[in-house]
Amino acid sequence: MGWRCPRLPALLLLLLVYTAATSAFTVCSYNVQRFNTEKATSSRVIHTLTRVLSRCDVALLQHVVDPDGKAVALLLKSLNRATDRYDDFHYDSVSSQSLGTSSKDMQKYVFIYRTQTVNVTAQYQYQGKQFVRPPFVIQVQSNKTAIKSFVLVPLHSDPDQAVKEINSLYDVFLDVSKKWNNKNVMFLGDFHASCAYVTKTTRKTIRLYKNSSFSWLIGDKVDTTVSDDTNCAYDRIVVHGEPFLKTIKPFSAKVLDIGKEFRLTRTKVMELSDHHPLRVELKSSAPFLRATPPWLLLSVCVILRSFLFPL
């Protein structure tokens, strides 16, 4: 009698191991446009936002207007509710204080993360006066990623000071990379880095553009806005250094068009935000499985099974 394929349980186990080991680590960024208690109590808004965040290992939320923390608490309750509709992860958050120069527009930076895959090892509120909302910086560690430890620097710039604030991110980089001895730094958020706020001429004055060690993963021609009236790359993801860049899954940095993805009307999308979420994937920490095609692993399984269980 000839060889048979491995039994189904063995195949399923191998596929599960391969999938778990090679699944990418996803970082997201989303300007949720005045996310407050009123939005958080809208079942439609919270449902859509939960669907977005359940795809991310760690996500930055900007424009969170939540002085008492009730809106974020409702969001975490939705993410952590007992259901298998989304995933089996538990989520937690860390956030800045309310930031801004006007009492009418105080905003928080909020990071939502999976506790099983992300460990927030440090946090730091930058104090530079060159920002309306200074970055609230965190350092994260994950055994799921090839890079292990890296720094996330958020920015929701003031539109009228976009060039100045984006340029000042270089000062933040110098500060935090020295503070934590970690140059694996990712900048992300709504920079207003396009259209009338940052032009081709003013872009040349920005150090994160001029310095080739910084890689802009979201291109200048990408539209990160929802409205048909705008076509601007306001929202960006930037990483420092070749080691960090090599751990980014190629072509994974992109806009998540939740209208198309979740089959929502533009009106429903705009209820949440006039910006699209951004996402980028980091490569897995398992070098052998990451470099080995599934068909080869399955072939090895077949051969081993033929020796272990001869017919």
Q: Sketch the domain layout of the chain as residue ranges.
A: 24-283
- State the residue for tokens 């089959």: 263
Dihedral sign for Cα atoms in the order 90, 76, 192, 120: negative
Best CA proximity match to 138, nearest among 116, 117, 111, 156: 111
CA-based radius of gyration for the chain: 21
Candidates 1.10.287.3510, 3.60.10.10, 3.30.565.10, 3.40.50.720; correct CATH number of 24-283? 3.60.10.10
Query: Is residue 109 classed exposed, middle or buried when 0-12, 13-18 and 19+ CB atoms within 10 A define those classes?
Result: buried
Compute the distance between CA of residue 280 and CA of residue 235 in angstroms, rounded to an integer: 13
d(CA 186, CA 170): 12
The whole-number pLDDT of residue 286 equals 67
In the block, residue with structure tokens 């005045």: 34
Position 1 confidence tier, pLDDT thresholds 50, 70, 90: very low
28 vs 58: CA distance, rounded Å: 6
**Quick check: 275 and 235 in contact, CB under 8 A?**
yes
Render pLDDT for 190-232 as a digit per residue (tens, 0 to 9). 999 999 999 999 999 999 999 999 999 999 999 999 999 999 9
Place of tokens 């539209």: 223
Contact assessment for residue 99 and residue 155, using Cβ atoms and an 8 Å cutoff: no
Give the pLDDT confidence of 61-103 residue by residue, as tens digits. 999 999 999 999 999 999 999 765 556 899 999 999 999 999 9
